[in-house]
């Protein structure tokens, strides 16, 4: 494979992994939980601030437990993807996280936003790139002044 084709392929792989970060946030906020699950490998894990959800059933349970009275928005930025092998990568993303009271019209903010970090392991599967592991860590905790 030529150097240009290898570079194009690597850029496409990087874009696919970065897209997983954004799709996760958008599907989660829209409560499209089947679409969230499809972003993970069958044995994928989510470590949310130290609470582990391993496999599709556990991930589905976590998603179903999200409070219906709360609206969220996750804004992803500073996405970085690093390749460990042709079919494996790690990723990092900063996420500005908003919560609001679900109601007709615009939600009412439940306080200032927080910042979390996504630390990811991506793998290429027969269905394309997927999240094998996501660790979510608090970077800046919101507080009232």
Residue-level pLDDT at 103: 82
Domain ranges of the chain: 3-140
The fold adopted by the segment(s) 3-140 is Nuclear Transport Factor 2; Chain: A, (3.10.450)
Residues 79, 91 contacting (CB under 8 angstroms): yes
Residue-level pLDDT at 2: 61
Task: Specify the pairing of strand 114-125 against strand 88-101.
Answer: antiparallel
Structure tokens given for 8: 């194009």
Q: What is the Cα–Cα distance from 69 to 94, expressed in whole angstroms?
A: 25
What Rg, from alpha-carbon coordinates, does the chain have? 16
Residues 102, 86 contacting (CB under 8 angstroms): no
The pLDDT tens digits of the residues spanning 116-125 come to 999 999 999 9
Q: What is the Cα–Cα distance from 45 to 58, expressed in whole angstroms?
A: 9
The pLDDT tens digits of the residues spanning 49-102 come to 999 999 999 999 999 999 999 999 999 999 999 999 999 999 999 999 999 998
46: pLDDT strictly greater than 70: yes
State pTM to two decimals.
0.91
């Amino acid at each position: 494979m030529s150097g240009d084709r290898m570079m194009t392929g690597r850029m496409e792989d990087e874009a696919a992994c970065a897209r997983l970060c954004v799709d996760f946030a958008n599907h989660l906020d829209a409560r499209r939980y089947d679409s969230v699950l499809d972003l993970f490998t069958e044995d994928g894990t989510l470590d949310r601030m130290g609470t582990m959800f391993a496999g599709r059933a556990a991930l589905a349970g976590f998603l179903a437990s999200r409070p219906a009275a709360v609206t969220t928005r996750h804004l992803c930025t500073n996405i970085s993807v690093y390749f460990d092998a042709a079919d494996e990568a790690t990723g990092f993303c900063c996420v500005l996280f908003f919560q609001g009271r679900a109601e007709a019209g615009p939600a009412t903010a439940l306080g200032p936003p927080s910042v979390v970090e996504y630390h990811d392991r991506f793998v290429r599967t027969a269905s394309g790139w997927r999240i094998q592991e996501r660790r979510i860590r608090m970077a800046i905790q919101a507080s009232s002044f």
